[in-house]
Structure 1
Amino acid sequence: MVEAKGNMRVVILTPYKRLLDLSGVTELYLPIENGIIGVLPGHAPMVSAVGTGVVVYTQNNVSGFFKVAGGVAEITGASVTLLVDVGEDASQIDVERAKSSLERAENRLIAKASEHIDIKRAEASKLRAIARLEAAELHMGKNSQDKKSL
């Protein structure tokens, strides 16, 4: 599919399902291993490891949000494909469950001296929980702004 000038196609896939396949995207921000990268139509081709965090995209001046963790991103001038280990639409995130996950991870990290804790696993769990909460917060903030503009 050829995109109109100034637009991109964004696809987010997990091993189990296609989470997003959207044309007409004008900008995208995604987490990579050492930070966040912004992608606009016409971006130089590249491949990058995907980090844990929030994907933010804009289509028709409306933003959308996904929580992702791990995987690879392929960027061309006309498309971005994210093959991620884990992904979740921000609108589907259970905030209370994410808060509980964050609390469990933090408690495991606090208890690391007294118990045999896999620290890297607990830190990764904490990062995923934080990303879920950030994505949900961005989504809820967007919805309250949409309602104010009506």
Structure 2
Amino acid sequence: MKTFTVSVVTPDGPVYEETGAEMVSTKATSGELGILPGHVPLVAPLTINAVRIKKDNNTQTLAVSGGFIEVRPEKVTILAQAAERPGDINVDRAAAAKERAENRLQKSKQEGVDFARAQLALDRAINRINLAGK
């Protein structure tokens, strides 16, 4: 069976680097992506979502906060603004961030609140909470 290497890198350094992946699935801004060995080269912006990596009949997940995916036939590289393994997610901190973002969104009609930034913070917190709960 053909496999490929998967690398997930953030500005703070590598988060995931493994060979032997059979499939990667994630969500780009254009829709859901399923990457198999030998996939045509591709670069796409990612949404705030989970990255699922299938290897040895197991699926590993990472919470990714946007970024880009670069696909080559033998390697998939994800350059993410932030990425965490489920076990590394501090659920209490994520829940507090979710609450702060919800409060900012409620106040967004008042001046001085950046709605888009608050919505992104909420999306990141929900993604982290959902992934940590699995």
TM-score, L = length of structure 1: 0.83
Higher Cα Rg: structure 1 or 2? 1
Tell me which residue corresponds to 1:134.
Answer: 130
Partners in 2 of 1:101 and 1:122 — Cα distance? 10
More helix, by proportion = 1
Tell me which residue corresponds to 1:124.
Answer: 120
Q: Matched residue pairs, number?
A: 134
Runs of 5+ unmatched residues, structure 2: none
Tell me which residue corresponds to 1:13.
Answer: 9
Q: Mapping of 1:38-77 within 5 angstroms?
A: 38-77=34-73
Structure 1 residue runs of 4+, over 4 Å off?
none
C-alpha contact 1:66 1:135 (8 A) present in aligned 2: yes
More strand, by proportion = 2
Q: Secondary structure at the match of 2:73?
A: coil
Which of residues 87, 97, 104 in structure 2 aligns to 1:101?
Answer: 97
Partners in 1 of 2:103 and 2:12 — Cα distance? 31
Partners in 1 of 2:27 and 2:33 — Cα distance? 6
- Root-mean-square deviation (CA, aligned residues, Å) is 1.3
Runs of 5+ unmatched residues, structure 1: 139-150
Tell me by how many angstroms 1:115 deviates.
4.6
Q: Secondary structure at the match of 1:50?
A: strand
C-alpha contact 1:13 1:83 (8 A) present in aligned 2: yes
C-alpha contact 1:7 1:41 (8 A) present in aligned 2: yes
Partners in 1 of 2:127 and 2:82 — Cα distance? 12
